[in-house]
Chain A
Amino acid sequence: MAQKRQVRVGSQWMYARDAEKALSEALRVMKEEEDGHGHQQSFISKYVFSQDHKWIGIQYGFTALCFLLFGFFLMLMMRLQLGWPGESFKIIHLFFGAGSPQGQLLPEQYNQLGAMHGTIMVFLAIVPLAVGAFGNYVVPLQIGAPDMAFPKLNMASYWCYLPGGIIMLLSMFFSRGGAAQSGWTSYPPLSVIMQTDGQIWWLVGMIFLITSSLLGSVNFIVTIIQLRAKGMTWDRLPFFVWAQFVTSFLLLLAFPPLEAAGVLQLMDRVAGTSFFLPTGLVVSGEVLKNAGGGNPLLWQHLFWFLAHPEVYVLILPAMGIVAEVIANNTRKSLWGYRSMVGATIFLGFMSFVVWAHHMFMTGMGTVISAFFQTTTMIISIPSVIILSALFITLWGASIRFTTPMLFALAFLPMFGIGGLTGLPLGLATTDIHLHDTYYVIGHFHYVVAPGTIFAMFAGIYYWFPKITGRKLNDKLGRIHFWGSFVCINGIFMPMFYQGLAGVSRRLFDGGAQYAHAKAAAAATNPFMSQAAIGLFIFQLPFIYNFFKSIKWGEKVGANPWQATTLEWAAATSPPLGHGNFAFPPVVHRGPYEYSLPGMTDDYLPQNADDGGAIPAPAIAPPHAPVVA
């Protein structure tokens, strides 16, 4: 075999011929910058209406993190009232102004906060963060593409998302009667007969968000199918890319029915139709004068046809991030990569036939309930496969407990608790007792909050060096992790107890006026609210760390985690401008070639072409030829 010389470029080792190409590319870019002042991108086209997937990813990420914080802030106001009903709080008075002179939440204000917390967290924070930010930034880099397939659509996707978010936000302050207050699920007839305008704002905002996710999902699928680098076959795709691929199909096919439902509800509200209003509906003691003949269950079917796949839209990218972080920090190949991919695809298919398990209590009939109960039990299997594979990957590994790894490790049991507590809800009989209680809230928050959001934090700590060339501070990261981990369990664990004791959801005073809920609620609510405040306090080190490290964080090389996937192994940190790679990478092996026997190094990048690992400097000085 040929001998190949290694040279050092910056902090990265490269084959000499690759380095030569990189150098000529760098010279070309430099020359272009020097004499091409006329061609310089303007500030607006570079930073506002950018078509570079990396910058769009950053735009998505920053906006989504702001919404995440805002959604959390709405929840804090609710938690204040739940923990100490009857007390007045200055912050509530400041937020609602004249609407809340006592500094307490009125029932309708509590409902507004609940509806907006759900909508903002799902549609404006987590999905844009998981798909819009991480997907946009990482997927083209991981598959070795210069950009997304349709850069203009990508830009349009962000610029549909932002107005949708702004409409939702403004509805809280400028809509007649305040924001939507029928929950994030917007069940009719309540959402249609409500006299305030918030629901119309909500529907218009949703149509923007659905358009945005449609544009994004088409783009992701085409990018992954068409723009994979040479040699990047389907079984060499990193698991994160697979997760994004299936997620995009869910977004593509599940969102349009909600768009249809949104159009129908908008017609009901604006044009006076009665798609969702049954004949003879009595509102405030009077029979409605609508045409009638509508079906409120129709909305629930259309809504959950989206919203159940949406659950997997929330969780699959999280699993993808966790898989990347775990493979990297255990220095092992993922155990059962093919089973994980198969499970992910099966999960995607099954997620379209489980939606009515949200509707066991609507009286749709035992046969349908039995069907959806069965499919619901079946869909738990692929989730368990993925989670088990990740657990088994840990077995026997010498784990690097980096900050992203801590979050990834915490994801596993937290998602496990969320998933297992879902089983009693998926069985129609036990659901009779548990539905509409705090048990449900505990269940899905365990999936999404200490589950998905922890995975998002893992992703932020893991890819921050890729985006900025600097690391987030580890000490602050550990404070952030342990504080958040303890507090978030303090909020959600008692919810299972409350729910089993019969405390209903949506009680604006936390159950103080309800005989059946009073004792259980009073015993736990103050503690849960303290934990929520604690959770807020432990986000402060993260926010400080985030902004400080952008400018003053510890500088790192191109591949600080010594990872194998292309975004680290074939690109600089941060990557070259628009175009990502100095030359198109060629892929020679699977995504997780860690700790191979007989290698000088414990990782073999996907683009290393001769089976010889790039040597560690201590072992092989730069001038020594490497025998391949």
Chain B
Amino acid sequence: MSADGHLEIPFNVDARPDTGLYNGKLGVWLFLASEVMLFGALFSSLILIRTGAVEWPQGWKELHVIPATINTFVLIASSVFVVMAWANLRLNKPKVARLWIAATLLCGFAFMGIKAYEYNLSFEHHHFPKTSNFFAIYFTMTGLHGLHVLGGMIVFAYFLTKGWAMQEHEPRRFTNRIEIVGLYWHFVDLVWIFLFPTLYLL
């Protein structure tokens, strides 16, 4: 325990020598493993339902490929931005890093905005989850993915505002936090990279 009675957990910031990891990094990798199982189950469901279907619509005819393509690039860019934020924190340039975090958050907003526009186009064509199993799985999977993007955005917004204080008094721990949320953000990006061809192009 530290002097103020606050409990210190070992390897919270520094890596444990024999595992080479600090606690949070191992934790987020385990969390991502469970996320792989979550989305893996949904992709398996998609395969099972699609192979059992009498007919299956072609994604590019029913969905809107151009906004989705733009969204793909938005997410990939944001993944680069979050790495830039982390790298600048490592280089001890917190002010630059903060701009990159803001840019990442902005990309999140752009993605959600374009996604909302896309959903709206589908609704205008009277395409709802109950219309067919294709739209059911489309709305469910992209919706769940959207919730993950939203979760990441909330975390980035927190780091930009209230959570930024940690950068000043515990900079190494804060850098770790950006690394962890970056790993999560890459995963969310990766899910979209799978979703885009499976739903829109195949």
Chain A positions near chain B (C-beta within 8 angstroms): 32, 36, 39, 145-147, 149-151, 153, 214, 217-219, 221-222, 225-227, 252-257, 259-261, 263-264, 267, 271-275, 290-291, 293-295, 298, 301-302, 305, 578-579
Contact = CB atoms under 8 A, between A and B. Distances in A.
B120 interface: no
Interface string B37-62: 11111100100110011100000000
Given A151-B9, A293-B49, A256 B23 contact: no
Nearest to A580: B7
Contact of A257 (B11, B16, B24, B38): B38
Given A147-B7, A149-B9, A260-B41, A272 B129 contact: yes
A257 B35 CA distance: 10
Contacts of A261: 41
A36 B9 CA distance: 22
A273 B140 contact: yes
B30 interface: yes
14 contacts: A39-B5, A149-B12, A214-B31, A217-B34, A218-B30, A226-B10, A227-B10, A253-B34, A255-B34, A259-B38, A260-B42, A264-B140, A578-B1, A578-B7
A236 B183 CA distance: 33
Interface string B12-33: 1000100101111011001101
Q: Which 9 A-B pairs have the closest CB atoms?
A: A272-B130, A273-B136, A256-B38, A257-B41, A260-B41, A256-B37, A271-B129, A149-B23, A293-B133
B45 A260 contact: yes
A221 B27 CA distance: 8
A264 B141 CA distance: 10
B170 interface: no
Nearest to B43: A260
A468 to B, nearest CB: 22
Given A225-B26, A253-B37, A263 B52 contact: no
Contacts of A146: 1, 7-10
B4 interface: yes
B19 A225 contact: yes
Given A214-B34, A252-B30, A257-B37, A275 B136 contact: yes
B69 interface: no
Interface in B122-156: 128-133, 136-137, 139-140, 144
Nearest to A302: B41
Residue among B5, B19, B48, B49 facing the most chain A CB atoms (10 A cut-off): B5
Residue among B10, B19, B132 facing the most chain A CB atoms (10 A cut-off): B10
Contacts of B131: 291
B4 A39 contact: yes
B9 A273 contact: no
Interface string B67-84: 000000000000000000
Main secondary structure of the interface of B (DSSP, over half): helix
Contacts of A291: 130-133, 136
A227 B37 contact: no
B133 A263 contact: no
Nearest to A25: B1
A218 B37 contact: no
Interface of B: 1, 4-5, 7-12, 16, 19, 21-24, 26-27, 30-31, 33-35, 37-42, 45, 48-49, 52-54, 128-133, 136-137, 139-140, 144
Contacts of A295: 48-49, 52
Nearest to A41: B5
A225 B25 CA distance: 12
Contacts of B49: 275, 293-295, 298
Nearest to A251: B34
A145 B16 CA distance: 14
A301 B53 CA distance: 18
A474 B5 CA distance: 39
Nearest to A260: B41
B129 A149 contact: no
B5 A274 contact: no
Contact of A226 (B16, B42, B129, B130): B16
Nearest to A145: B10
Contacts of B41: 256-257, 259-261, 302, 305
A273 B10 contact: no
B1 A275 contact: no
Contact of A253 (B9, B23, B33, B42): B33
Nearest to B51: A295
Contacts of B23: 149-150, 222, 226-227
A302 B52 CA distance: 16
A440 B136 CA distance: 36
B133 to A, nearest CB: 5
Contacts of B129: 267, 271-273
Nearest to B144: A263
Given A146-B7, A579-B1, A273 B37 contact: no
Contacts of A267: 129, 136, 140
Given A214-B31, A291-B131, 18 more contacts: A36-B5, A39-B4, A150-B23, A218-B27, A226-B16, A226-B19, A226-B21, A226-B26, A252-B30, A252-B34, A257-B37, A264-B42, A273-B133, A275-B137, A291-B130, A293-B52, A293-B53, A295-B48
Contact of A222 (B4, B30, B38, B140): B30
